[in-house]
Chains A and B, each alone.
Chain A
Amino acid sequence: MRADPRALRFGAAITTLVLALVLVTGSVWLLAVQAVVFALGLAGRPPYGMLFKALVRSAPGETEDARPPRFAQGVGLVFAVTGLVGYLTGITPLALVATAGALLAAFLNAAFGFCLGCETYLLIRRLLPAAKLEVHR
């Protein structure tokens, strides 16, 4: 699977915007929507990426491996779900920290092209050698 880096960057920018709105408004629903978006991204159907494809018809100059960003969407999902738990149980610090963590990763990707989620992979494997993900080459 190959991915259009422009679509990934676009998706990260929208994610940044959505998560910032979640923090400002405290909207649980909006965070739930973003969690679903992360889940779809993990499943290989990134909604923001599809929106980009619908808006921009031109072919990308280069493509990149789709697996790292997919993995990162999974990491985003964990943060979003943790944030949801925080908001729903009224543990506000948990909600804020988890959502801010996802915002940080999305912002770094959108603004600098760094995939923080991707880089947690080796650290997770170092701590939990059993956490190997099935990778289809």
Chain B
Amino acid sequence: MTGVWVVLATLALGCGIGVVRLRRDGRMRERAGDRLAEALDEGVLRAPLGERATLVQFSTAFCQPCRATRRVLADVSVLVPGVAHVEIDAESRLDLVRELDITRTPTVLVLDAAGTIVKRASGQPRKADVLAVLADAVPGLPPERPSPSHELSQHPDEM
């Protein structure tokens, strides 16, 4: 009989985790301490910062949504002038992963022009959310007007 209860409890827990995940996954949020932390620079990122903002993506090989995230961010960096997309292989930068407390891939950090972390998202962010954060955080950008037809996540996954 214990087994039945374990199954029911596990499935209930699974539903709870699943629903919370669906709501939170890819949401851009402000993390306490991010704004106060030392700004990231070209030396740390091993890539130049964007003129106005930088989208830093942490990826691993064992990450399903990383490729779709790459497409979303690459698209945004093309769409919004002065925004750079930097992808970091989390495994080869474990020091940075620990320092920035990154627990999942993909994790996306939005940096302002100075390299300060403005927002972060764990899980695949939606394009409209990224654009909204950029419009909010980066002075001088036009207010975002996302068009639904631009959703790239529906495209077939190609190598």
- Is A56 close to B, CB under 8 A? no
Contacts of B105 in A (CB 8 A): 119, 121-122
Contacts of A67 in B (CB 8 A): 61-62
| Cross-chain contact of B21 among A24, A107, A114 (Cβ < 8 A) | A114
| Cross-chain contact of A104 among B14, B64, B157 (Cβ < 8 A) | B14
**Interface residues of B, count at CB 8 A:** 33
| Docked-complex contact A111 and B103, CB < 8 angstroms | no
- Is A44 close to B, CB under 8 A? no
Stretch at the interface among B28-36, B78-86, B89-97, B134-142: B89-97
Also in contact, A122 and B15, with CB within 8 A (given A61-B156, A65-B64, A100-B10): no
- Is B104 close to A, CB under 8 A? yes
Cα distance A8–B63 in the bound complex, in angstroms: 15
Cα distance A107–B13 in the bound complex, in angstroms: 10
Cα distance A137–B61 in the bound complex, in angstroms: 9
Cα distance A101–B157 in the bound complex, in angstroms: 30
Cα distance A25–B67 in the bound complex, in angstroms: 41
For B1-36 the 0/1 string (1 means CB < 8 A from A) is: 011101101110111011001100000000000000
Also in contact, A23 and B7, with CB within 8 A (given A61-B156, A119-B104, A126-B94): yes
| Docked-complex contact A62 and B156, CB < 8 angstroms | yes
Number of cross-chain contacts by CB at 8 Å: 96
Cα distance A110–B91 in the bound complex, in angstroms: 27
Cα distance A24–B3 in the bound complex, in angstroms: 5
Least CB separation from B104: chain A residue: A119
Contacts of B22 in A (CB 8 A): 112
Cα distance A99–B7 in the bound complex, in angstroms: 9
| Cross-chain contact of B15 among A2, A96, A111, A135 (Cβ < 8 A) | A111
Cα distance A48–B156 in the bound complex, in angstroms: 24
| Docked-complex contact A24 and B60, CB < 8 angstroms | no
| Docked-complex contact A108 and B61, CB < 8 angstroms | no
- Is B145 close to A, CB under 8 A? no
| Docked-complex contact B64 and A126, CB < 8 angstroms | no
- Is B98 close to A, CB under 8 A? yes
- Is B128 close to A, CB under 8 A? no
Contacts of A92 in B (CB 8 A): 2
Q: Which residues of A contact B (CB under 8 A)?
A: 2, 20, 22-26, 61-65, 67-69, 71-72, 92, 96, 99-100, 103-104, 107-108, 111-112, 114-115, 118-119, 121-123, 125-126, 129, 132-133, 135, 137
